[in-house]
C-alpha cells in the first residue's frame, strides 16, 4: 500500500484508491490502483483492482493521480502512467457503470494518453512529470489541473493545464506556481479554504472569503510542505502569502513519517478530508518477510486557522466511535523528575488527550539563536536529556523497564522577546530491533505558553503513533516497531524529566477498538 491516489465520495459511499503492487510489498514495475470502500471512513471493504497496466502508454505501471466528479455526477480518473519508453504521461478513465455506487469497473479512453509533455511545455522533463491533481472549474467553464514536475535546474513546479471537455488538455504556457531549488514536486494538491469558517470548501470555490492552499511532496527531504495564498484567476497564477514558502522553514503537513497526502471534499458533511501515506521504517527484507508494506494514517479534516496563516488538521470525528473504557486524570502538579503510569486502558491501542500549563516560566532555558532546526534540536535534546521546562509529555509504547518507548513531549525556551515551544517525537528507544530506523522529529509550535495551554492528542496503534498539538496546528507521525512493548505488555506514562514543575490541567484516555479491514460488502451495509 503506497500513495493514496483518489479519495472521493460517490452516491454516499467513500472510496479510497491507492497505489499497490499485487505481487510484492516493494516498489517496482507493474503498480496498479487498489480500491476499497467504506460508509464511515473507518471500516473498509476491499474492491477489485480498479486500474492495471494493459496498454503501451501504461506498460510500466499505473502511478498516482486523482478523481474529479464531473457534471451529472460522473467520476473521472486522471492518472500518471508509464509508457514503454518510460515517459510519464497522463491518462484518463471512467466508470463502466455509473449506477454502481461501488465503482468496481473502469475503462480507459481511446484518446489516451491525454497529456504528454513536449518540448513546448515550458521545459518539462517527461521523466519527472506526474500526479495530476483533482480538477477545478472557473467561471469560464474550463477545467484546470496541475501536474507535478520540475523545470530547468532543479526547480519544482506545478504545471497548469486546461480543458473544455476533460479529454483534450492544453498547457497554458506557465506554471500555476514554481520555486527554485526545491526539486521534483510530487503529489500536488491545490484547494480552497474558507477564511473564518471551520468548513471545507469544494475544489472549484472562489471568493473574497477564500484563500488557497498549494501542497507539494518534496522527494529530497521526503516531506510535505504547503503554502497559503491567493489564487489570481485572471492570470491563472497562485501567489503565496508573504513568508509562506516550501523551504525547510516553511509549513509542513506533518513533521514525522507522512508523505504523498491527498485530500477531497466531502459534500455530505462539508468537510475537506485528507489521507496520508505512512511508510515503513524497517528494512526491505523485513517487509518482504511480512508480505506487506505501508499504510494510511487516520483521515484528517483540514480547515484554516482563525488567523488565516496555517492549516489545522484533526482526526475525523468518526474515529471517536472506536473509543471505550475512558480513564480521566484530575488536574495536578507534575513535579520535576516524575513518571506516572496510566492504568485502565489498552496502551497498545489508545487515544489520549492531555493539556499542560506552566506555573512559572521565568526559569525557562535560554534559546540559543543558532538553534533554528527543530528536528536537530530534538535529536540533541531527546526525552532522556534533562532540561528546565521539559522534557514533559507522554511515553507511549513503553516496556516494563523502559528499554523501549516512543516519547512525545514539549520543551519551553526563552527567546529574546517571547517563549518558544518545541514539540518532539523521540524514537531513539522505540525498538530494540537494530535494523529499525529510529529518528527524532521536531517542530516549533505556534502557541504562547503565557496565555495558552499546551494541548496534545496522541493516537496509538501498535506500530504507529500520530500526535496533534495545539488543537491540530502541528502534527507528527511516528512509525515504530517495539519488540517488548507490544499488545498487553505496552505501558503508557505521563512524564516530566525537567527540573521545573508543570501542571497537568486535564487528561482523558480511551482504549480503542480495532477498525475492520477487508470486510465482506454485506457487513458494511454495502
- The pLDDT of 244-259, averaged and rounded, is 88
Please tell me the predicted confidence (pLDDT) of residue 120: 62
Asked whether the beta carbons of 365 and 388 are under 8 A apart, the reply is yes
| Percent of the chain at pLDDT exceeding 70 | 97
Instruction: Concatenate the DSSP letters of all residues of 331-390 into one string.
Output: -EEE-TTEEEE--SS-TTEEEEEEEEE-S--TTPEE--TT---HHHHHHHS-TTS--SS-
Mean residue pLDDT across the chain: 93
Question: What 3-state DSSP class applies to 489?
Answer: helix
The predicted structure's pLDDT at residue 25: 75
pLDDT tens digit string along 379-436? Answer: 999 999 999 999 999 999 999 999 999 999 999 999 989 999 999 999 999 999 999 9
DSSP letter, residue 54: -
- The model's confidence at residue 233, banded by pLDDT at 50, 70 and 90, is very high
- Note whether 8-315 and 322-512 share their fold: no
**Topology (CATH level 3) of domain 322-512:** Jelly Rolls (2.60.120)
Cell of 519: 470486510
Cα–Cα distance for residue pair 375/426, rounded to 1 Å: 10
* pTM, rounded to two decimals: 0.95
- At the topology level, CATH places domain 8-315 in Tachylectin-2; Chain A (2.115.10)
**What's the mean pLDDT in 356-378?**
95
Write down the pLDDT at residue 122: 61
Q: Work out the pLDDT band at 35, boundaries 50, 70, 90.
A: very high
Check pLDDT > 50 for residue 1.
Answer: yes
Following DSSP, what letter does each residue of 433-456 receive, concatenated?
-TTS---EEEEEES--TTTS-EEE
Note the pLDDT tens digit of each residue in 314-357: 999 999 999 999 999 999 999 999 999 999 999 999 999 999 99
pLDDT digit string, tens, across residues 472-520: 999 999 999 999 999 999 999 999 999 999 999 999 999 999 998 876 6
At residue 524 the predicted structure's pLDDT band, cuts being 50, 70 and 90, is very low
Is residue 523 scored above 50 in pLDDT? Answer: no
Q: What is the average per-residue pLDDT within 267-271?
A: 97
pLDDT digits (tens, 9 = 90+) for 67-118: 999 999 999 999 999 888 888 999 999 999 999 999 999 999 999 999 998 7
Under 8 Å between Cβ of 160 and 236: yes
Query: Which of the residue ranges 203-207, 251-255, 514-518 would you say has the lowest mean pLDDT?
Result: 514-518
C-alpha cell recorded at residue 309: 496563516
Mean pLDDT of 440-461: 97
Q: Higher-confidence residue: 154 or 105?
A: 105
What is the residue extent of each domain of the chain? 8-315, 322-512
Amino acid at each position: 500500500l503506497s500513495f493514496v491516489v483518489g479519495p472521493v465520495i460517490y452516491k454516499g459511499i467513500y472510496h479510497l484508491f491507492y497505489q499497490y503492487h499485487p505481487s510484492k510489498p516493494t516498489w517496482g514495475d507493474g503498480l496498479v490502483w487498489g480500491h476499497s470502500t467504506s460508509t464511515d471512513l473507518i471500516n473498509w471493504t476491499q474492491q477489485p483492482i480498479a486500474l492495471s497496466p494493459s496498454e503501451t502508454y501504461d506498460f510500466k505501471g499505473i502511478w498516482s493521480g486523482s478523481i474529479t466528479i464531473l457534471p451529472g455526477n460522473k467520476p473521472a480518473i486522471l492518472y500518471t502512467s508509464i509508457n514503454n519508453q518510460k515517459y510519464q504521461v497522463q491518462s484518463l478513465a471512467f466508470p463502466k457503470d455509473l449506477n454502481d455506487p461501488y465503482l468496481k469497473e473502469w475503462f480507459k479512453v481511446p484518446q489516451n494518453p491525454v497529456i504528454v509533455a513536449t518540448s513546448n511545455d515550458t521545459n518539462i522533463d517527461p521523466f519527472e512529470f506526474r500526479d495530476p491533481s483533482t480538477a477545478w472549474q472557473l467561471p469560464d467553464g474550463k477545467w484546470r489541473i496541475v501536474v507535478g514536475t520540475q523545470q530547468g535546474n532543479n526547480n519544482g513546479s506545478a504545471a497548469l493545464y486546461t480543458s473544455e471537455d476533460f479529454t483534450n488538455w492544453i498547457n497554458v504556457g506557465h506554471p500555476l506556481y514554481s520555486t527554485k531549488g526545491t526539486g521534483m514536486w510530487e503529489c500536488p494538491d491545490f484547494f480552497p479554504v474558507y477564511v473564518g469558517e471551520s468548513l471545507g470548501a469544494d475544489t472549484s470555490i472562489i471568493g473574497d472569503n477564500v484563500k488557497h492552499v498549494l501542497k507539494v511532496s518534496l522527494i529530497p527531504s521526503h516531506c510535505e510542505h504547503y503554502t497559503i495564498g491567493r489564487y489570481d484567476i485572471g492570470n491563472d497564477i497562485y501567489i503565496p502569502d508573504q513568508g509562506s514558502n516550501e523551504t525547510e522553514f516553511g509549513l509542513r503537513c506533518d513533521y514525522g513519517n507522512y508523505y504523498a497526502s491527498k485530500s477531497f471534499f466531502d459534500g455530505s458533511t462539508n468537510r475537506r478530508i485528507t489521507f496520508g501515506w505512512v511508510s515503513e521504517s524497517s528494512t526491505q527484507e523485513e517487509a518482504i518477510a511480512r508480505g506487506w508494506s505501508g499504510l494510511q494514517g487516520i483521515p484528517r479534516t483540514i480547515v484554516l486557522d482563525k488567523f488565516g496563516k496555517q492549516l489545522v488538521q484533526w482526526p475525523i470525528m468518526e474515529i471517536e466511535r472506536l473509543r471505550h473504557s475512558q480513564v480521566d486524570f484530575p488536574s495536578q502538579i507534575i513535579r520535576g523528575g516524575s513518571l506516572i503510569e496510566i492504568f485502565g486502558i489498552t496502551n497498545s491501542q489508545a487515544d489520549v488527550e492531555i493539556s499542560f500549563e506552566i506555573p512559572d516560566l521565568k526559569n525557562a532555558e535560554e534559546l540559543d539563536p543558532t538553534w533554528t532546526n527543530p528536528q536537530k534540536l530534538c535529536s540533541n535534546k531527546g526525552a532522556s536529556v534533562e532540561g528546565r521546562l521539559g522534557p514533559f509529555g507522554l511515553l507511549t509504547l513503553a516496556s516494563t523497564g523502559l528499554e523501549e518507548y516512543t516519547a512525545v513531549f514539549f520543551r519551553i525556551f526563552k527567546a529574546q522577546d517571547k517563549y518558544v515551544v518545541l514539540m518532539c517525537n523521540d524514537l531513539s528507544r522505540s525498538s530494540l530491533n537494530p535494523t529499525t530506523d529510529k529518528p527524532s522529529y521536531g517542530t516549533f509550535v505556534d502557541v504562547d505558553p503565557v496565555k495558552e495551554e499546551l494541548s496534545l492528542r496522541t493516537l496509538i496503534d501498535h506500530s504507529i503513533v500520530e500526535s496533534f498539538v495545539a488543537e491540530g496546528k502541528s502534527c507528527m507521525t511516528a512509525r515504530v516497531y517495539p519488540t517488548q512493548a507490544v499488545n498487553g505488555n505496552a505501558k503508557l506514562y505521563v512524564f516530566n524529566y525537567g527540573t521545573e514543575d508543570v501542571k497537568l490541567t486535564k487528561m482523558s484516555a480511551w482504549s480503542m477498538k480495532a477498525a475492520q479491514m477487508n470486510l465482506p460488502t454485506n457487513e458494511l451495509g454495502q
